[in-house]
């Protein structure tokens, strides 16, 4: 099967054509073509994403990106088996642009339409890149989400833990802004931390040692802010040390939660794989900590290539392939969703910053 995927949930406008074979014991697929247009330059002056700017940028560029991607793949719309698009969660203006475009293409070409949960796109990427079998333990860590999930199958997720306030990626962005490092914060913090002393500032490790697998990052952000305000002037070394100390605290806090999730997962499931996905999965220090956890628990650790950790349309097309293989398509009156939890049975979280 060949599917066109469209991603417009946040600040990347993306399209991809993916070919896949789901008939064997291990899923197989490859991207025939993909295009990603970043909006970093548009949002950088504001230190974060402006939803209206993002939606207008998607509207301006998406059609051209699809034309280019189809040409790069060397196929026509008659060669497609379906059109998939991120239908939530995300910034609703951008989501609407992608969904309406996908619906129009599906209607015009008489193709099935697949509404993809953006988080499921991240969750299933490891099956495309590494052929991971169900079930597996997933750490989904990004600018809007931080969750631990037992992935039982396509559309079947059990949440083991989630953030009770902010997401890890948001914490990176906010701390980077405090330190004058700009946007996006994750890569900026990691670069600055490379020359810093991670032991200089003893920041808290939120939730460490507490029962359960939930996360919290609001207090860590506040701790950084209080130190920044107490310093008379931030030197280059101060910034590096703050970045390193913050990154070490955040990674250690996440690692503690993952260890608890590994224990719960291995007790309940036969799966032997730990997967990380989402934009923050690109962080080298986090990957190293997760590799150590997996090694100690006798698990295989899988982290997709960096280009497939951040938002992209390859993962949306692949998730569409996974769903259509099971006969799961969607009507053209499907409504885009600003919030769309992977585990709808899990209790809701209502703290500031919680996205699902």
Q: Does residue 143 share a domain with residue 259?
A: yes
Quick: pLDDT tens for 13-66.
999 999 998 877 778 899 999 999 988 888 888 877 898 999 999 999 999 999
Q: Is residue 77 included in any domain, yes or no?
A: yes
pLDDT at 215 over 60: yes
Number of domains in the chain: 2
Q: Quick one: pLDDT band at residue 351, thresholds 50, 70, 90?
A: low
Mean pLDDT value across the chain: 94
Q: Is residue 31 included in any domain, yes or no?
A: yes
Domain CATH number, residue 224: 3.30.420.40
Q: Please check whether residue 39 is in contact with residue 33, taking contact to mean a CB–CB distance below 8 angstroms.
A: no
Q: Is residue 252 included in any domain, yes or no?
A: yes
Q: Is residue 204 included in any domain, yes or no?
A: yes
Q: Does residue 58 share a domain with residue 146?
A: no
Cα(38)–Cα(57) distance, integer angstroms: 10
User: Percent of the chain beyond pLDDT 70?
Assistant: 98
Q: Does residue 172 share a domain with residue 267?
A: yes
Total residue length of the chain: 356
Q: Does residue 214 share a domain with residue 92?
A: no
Q: Does residue 140 share a domain with residue 63?
A: no
- Print the domain residue range for 72: 2-128+307-325
Q: Does residue 300 share a domain with residue 187?
A: yes
Stretch among 180-184, 206-210, 268-272, 295-299 having the lowest mean pLDDT:
180-184
pLDDT at 21: 87
Q: Is residue 123 included in any domain, yes or no?
A: yes
Q: Is residue 335 included in any domain, yes or no?
A: no
* Helix 168-178 and helix 236-268, axial crossing angle in degrees, nearest 10: 170
Q: Does residue 286 share a domain with residue 160?
A: yes
Q: Is residue 352 included in any domain, yes or no?
A: no
Q: Does residue 82 share a domain with residue 32?
A: yes
pLDDT at 43: 84
Q: Does residue 229 share a domain with residue 154?
A: yes
pLDDT at 87: 98
Q: Quick one: pLDDT band at residue 356, thresholds 50, 70, 90?
A: low
Q: Does residue 176 share a domain with residue 113?
A: no
pLDDT at 355: 58
Quick: pLDDT tens for 104-143.
999 999 999 999 999 999 999 999 999 999 999 999 999 8
Q: Does residue 243 share a domain with residue 225?
A: yes
Residues 6 or more apart whose Cβ sits within 8 Å of residue 39: 11, 12, 13, 49, 53, 54, 57
Q: Please check whether residue 103 is in contact with residue 113, taking contact to mean a CB–CB distance below 8 angstroms.
A: yes
Q: Is residue 351 included in any domain, yes or no?
A: no
Q: Please check whether residue 148 is in contact with residue 257, taking contact to mean a CB–CB distance below 8 angstroms.
A: yes
Q: How many CB atoms lie within 10 A of CB 153?
A: 10
Quick: pLDDT tens for 175-214.
999 999 988 899 999 999 999 999 999 999 999 999 999 9
Q: Does residue 188 share a domain with residue 114?
A: no
pLDDT at 40: 81
Cα(245)–Cα(239) distance, integer angstroms: 10
Q: Please check whether residue 179 is in contact with residue 240, taking contact to mean a CB–CB distance below 8 angstroms.
A: no
pLDDT at 171 over 60: yes
Q: How far is CA 75 from CA 66, 85, 248, in A?
A: 12, 19, 47
Q: Quick one: pLDDT band at residue 354, thresholds 50, 70, 90?
A: low
């Amino acid at each position: 099967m060949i599917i066109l995927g469209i991603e417009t949930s946040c600040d990347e406008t993306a399209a991809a054509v993916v070919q896949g074979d789901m008939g064997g014991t291990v899923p197989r697929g490859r991207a025939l073509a993909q295009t990603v247009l970043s909006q970093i330059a548009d949002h950088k002056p504001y230190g974060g994403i402006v939803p209206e700017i993002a939606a207008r940028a998607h509207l301006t560029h998406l059609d051209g990106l699809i034309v280019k991607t189809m040409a790069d793949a060397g196929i026509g719309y008659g060669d497609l088996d379906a059109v998939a698009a991120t239908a939530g969660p995300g910034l609703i203006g951008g989501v609407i642009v992608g969904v309406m475009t996908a619906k129009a293409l599906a209607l015009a070409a008489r193709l099935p339409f697949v509404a993809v949960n953006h988080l499921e796109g991240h969750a299933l990427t490891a099956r495309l890149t590494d052929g991971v079998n169900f079930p597996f333990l997933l750490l989904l860590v990004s600018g809007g989400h931080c969750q631990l999930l037992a992935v039982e199958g396509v559309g079947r997720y059990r949440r083991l833990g989630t953030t009770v306030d902010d997401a890890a990626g948001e914490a990176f962005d906010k701390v980077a802004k405090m330190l004058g490092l700009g946007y996006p914060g994750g890569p900026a913090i990691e670069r600055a931390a490379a020359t810093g002393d991670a032991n200089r500032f003893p920041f808290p490790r939120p939730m460490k040692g507490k029962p359960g697998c939930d996360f919290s990052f609001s207090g860590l952000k506040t701790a950084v802010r209080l130190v920044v305000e107490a310093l008379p002037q931030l030197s280059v070394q101060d910034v590096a040390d703050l970045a390193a100390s913050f990154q070490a605290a955040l990674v250690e806090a996440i690692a503690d939660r993952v260890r608890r999730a590994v224990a719960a997962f291995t007790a309940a499931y036969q799966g032997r794989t730990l997967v990380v996905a989402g934009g923050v999965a690109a962080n080298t220090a986090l990957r190293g900590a997760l590799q150590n956890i997996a090694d100690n628990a006798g698990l295989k650790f899988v982290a997709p290539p960096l280009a497939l950790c951040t938002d992209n349309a390859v993962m949306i097309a692949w998730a569409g392939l996974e769903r259509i293989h099971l006969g799961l398509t969607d009507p053209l009156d499907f409504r885009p969703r600003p919030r769309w939890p992977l585990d709808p049975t899990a209790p809701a979280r209502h703290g500031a910053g919680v996205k699902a």
